[in-house]
A and B are shown apart, each in its own frame.
Chain A
Amino acid sequence: MALISEGRFIEDAWRRLADEEALPRSGKVIVSLARLEHAVAHLEAGVALGVLAPNTTEPEALAAALPRLSLISIVFPAFADGRGFSLARLIRRAGFTGELRASGRLLADQYRHALGCGFDTIEIPDDLAERQDESQWQAERAAHARTYQRGFVAPGSILEARRKAAAK
């Protein structure tokens, strides 16, 4: 798997923990949604906790664990399945400020959709990363200077720009 952050491929500091693996004493681990409650109760305080959430997850299912979570990784079963974008918005609305990751066969062309919905990082399979090199992710990140929607990408809203222009 390849991880993209701010338009660059970076090393992944997180490790996916299989359900049968013992909880580690250190590091950063991603557990399944099924194991989340157990991990919150038993994981040592120094270990960073992440969860892998299907795109059909109800935000309420994460609510209790939210203060303990440092990462939520939302699964995109197919790049054309946009449910993960709405789930990301709901998770941000619930107050989550940790790393929000999109995991699946996402395309560079969807980078701004992901950023606009509150994702920080994108995790894609290696074969896809070979076809979509860093330059494509960076280009897509830079290509959308303006959007009509106001979201999580701070600059760039056309409405804000119009307002500023009108105030001058």
Chain B
Amino acid sequence: MKKILFLFVAVLLFVTGCSKSNESSSSTSKSGLDDKKIVKIGWQNSGFPSPFTFDTNGPGGFLRNSFLFDTLTWKDDTGVIPWLAPSWEVSEDNLEYTFTLEKDVTFHDGESLTADDVVFSYNYFKENTFQWNTDMTKVASAEKISDHEVKITLTEPYVPFISEIAGKLPIIPKHIWSKVEQPLEYQEDEALIGSGPFTLDSYDSATGNYKFAKNENYFKGDVTVDEVQYLATENRMLSLQNKEIDGGMTFNYTEVQQLEKSGYGVLKSEPTGSAVRVVFNLKNEKLSDKNLRQAIAYALDRSSIAEKLTGNSEVMVGSAGVIPPDSTWYKKDVKQYDYNVEQANAILDKLGYEKNDAGIREDLDLSVLVSSTSKEAELMKSMLANVGIKLDIQTVDSATFSTAMAEGNYDMSITGHIGLSGDPDFLRLWFSGQASNSLAGKGVFENEEFQKLASLQLKQGNEAERKATVDEMQDILAEELPTLVLYHRPFYYVYDSSVFSGWFNTYGGISDGIPLTDNKAVFVDYK
């Protein structure tokens, strides 16, 4: 028995001893940091980062993939910039895009990247879907003109092509992928060979940690750090304070303020590019009446909802026209619904929903569907009770949520989104039922005028004309209110500026409007 006791003490000593020995080991590795510049960022596991297997649950997978692979165009703080293609020409009918390619680009394995690879990639992705919503049905063909010139022909005019396809679709090496028939199952090291600024040194699928190493021969310019690590920490802000990571994203403004006071750098996403919104079921008998939807809009004090949830008094109340006020596509005098209880009551009375003695409109009980706990729903419940509407909150997990949405088994639902500052074509995708993010697309908005404008803006090469069309679309959305944006939620990137401070906000958001800071261009000295 004494032996067992001894063993137990030994284990205890071992565990306590470990913490000490580890401190010394981390200090030795810190002295090693002096010659190597390493940036550690907190983000959850995003899957094996090949173009076919990255995780599409959130933008992490696409961003990890973009570190390894390049696209013809890219975006930085000024907007769309040339990347693999230094220049391009568009035919007058907006159907043909001719790209000139950079000459001395090599893949990580030393093979050079030529027009063949671009043509191959566009054809390969027509067969095998790229995971980050890229509508390849718009591409008719890709042809090689010379070793460094490619012509891409579209099936119909698609003005957002430069950012929404050319800026998203990774160019993959023909010599590797031409042999691959099941790209989803191809998870060899070769599947990660691209031309990007980093190579993947290691990825641990169990823990979800990534280590990217600098590509020494990057065509676009010097890569300014030696290593970028993505660590799947449970609580980013705590890990940041514990020095486990050097930067991480959060929505919590109170935390942001504390950390800013203690000397951390903070970058707020601008434009916000995101929204938390109520989706109305337009097939619902009562909610199909736009007057009721408007009454609900008047009854909700959305600035107070936003203030309570973000912890920040400087809030951006949701625009009724969906596009956030800080986007260049926003229409300035679009109709808005300020908090106005009298007006809400007046509309509801007029609609014939009468209050009983207790002040409750008995004929009007609605429910709101939320996935995971939603404080917005709680606040809405008390605000709607003020005008006599009884709101029932239904909480379900996300798969159940989207099934209910798809089947139309809901009155209202609350969802969060990003991508609102990118190309305004998202309005068409959201409300036409063509794209199927249930949070966005399933509630088809059957408004002929809107659908007409939505297809028109796709063809308008002249930006001013397109803006006018998008303005009209916002007017319709604001009047009809198929959805009510509660607020535009800011993202904060909090970082240790002594480690790396070159972060910037991408104009309109990375790719299709991702409002995060981990744009690969941050680490490349290309100007």
Do A and B come together as binding partners? Answer: no
Chain B residues within CB distance 8 Å of chain A: none
Chain A residues within CB distance 8 Å of chain B: none
